[in-house]
Amino acid sequence: MSRATRPIYLDHAATTRVDPRVVEAMLPYFTEVYGNASSVHTFGRDAHDALEQARRSAAGLLEADPEEIIFTSCGTESDNLAIRGVANASRGKGNHLITSSIEHHAVTHTCEQLAKHFGFEVTYLPVDSYGRVDPDDVGRAINSRTVLISVMYANNEVGTIQPIAEIGKIAREKGIPFHTDAVQAGGTLSLDVDALNVDLLALSAHKLYGPKGVGLLYRRRGTPILPTQTGGGHEHGLRAGTENVPYIIGLARALELAYERCESNNARIASLRDRLVSGVLAAIPQTQLTGHPHDRLPNNASFLFDGVEGESILLNLDLLGIGASSGSACTSGSVEPSHVLTALGLPAAQCHGSLRLTLGNDNTVEDVDYVLSVLPGIVSKLRAMSPLYSEPPAKGH
Choosing among 3.40.50.300, 3.10.100.10, 3.40.640.10, 3.40.50.800, the CATH entry for 20-260 is 3.40.640.10
Q: What percent of the chain has pLDDT over 70?
A: 95
For residue 233, the Cα-to-chain-centroid distance in whole angstroms is 29
The per-residue pLDDT for range 196-215, each reduced to its tens digit, is: 999 999 999 999 999 999 99
The per-residue pLDDT for range 120-140, each reduced to its tens digit, is: 999 999 999 999 999 999 999
pTM: 0.95
pLDDT above 90 (res 321)? yes
pLDDT of res. 77 = 97
CA 33/CA 303 separation, integer angstroms: 47
pLDDT of res. 294 = 95
pLDDT of res. 348 = 87
CA 255/CA 21 separation, integer angstroms: 12
Show Cβ contacts of residue 7 under 8 Å, excluding neighbours closer than 6 positions: 321, 322, 323
Q: Region 332-353: what's the mean pLDDT?
A: 83
Q: Are 54 and 22 in contact (CB under 8 A)?
A: no
Catalytic residues: 330
pLDDT above 90 (res 271)? yes
pLDDT of res. 209 = 98
Q: What are phi and psi of 278, to 5 degrees?
A: -65, -40
The per-residue pLDDT for range 30-83, each reduced to its tens digit, is: 999 999 999 999 999 999 999 999 999 999 999 999 999 999 999 999 999 999
Place 3 in a pLDDT band, splitting at 50, 70 and 90. confident
Classify residue 233 by burial, with Cβ atoms within 10 Å: 0-12, 13-18, 19+.
exposed
Q: What percent of the chain has pLDDT over 90?
A: 90
CATH 3.40.50.2020 for domain 8-16+262-385: no
Q: Region 261-276: what's the mean pLDDT?
A: 97
Show me where the domains of the chain are located.
8-16+262-385, 20-260
pLDDT of res. 329 = 41
Residue of 74, 18, 57, 358 whose CA lies nearest to 202: 74
pLDDT of res. 328 = 41
Residue of 387, 383, 356 whose CA lies nearest to 371: 356
Where are the strands (E) in 197-352, listed by range?
Answer: 200-204, 215-219, 287-289, 300-305, 322-323, 329-331, 334-336
Place 233 in a pLDDT band, splitting at 50, 70 and 90. confident
pLDDT above 80 (res 1)? no
3-state helix, strand, coil in the chain (%, to 5): 45, 15, 40
pLDDT of res. 191 = 98
pLDDT above 70 (res 335)? no
Burial 122-145 (b: 16+ CB within 10 A, else e): bbbbebeebbbbebebbeebbeee
pLDDT above 90 (res 389)? no
Q: What mean pLDDT value characterizes the chain? A: 94
pLDDT above 80 (res 394)? no
The per-residue pLDDT for range 346-360, each reduced to its tens digit, is: 998 889 999 999 999
- Same fold yes or no, 8-16+262-385 and 20-260: no
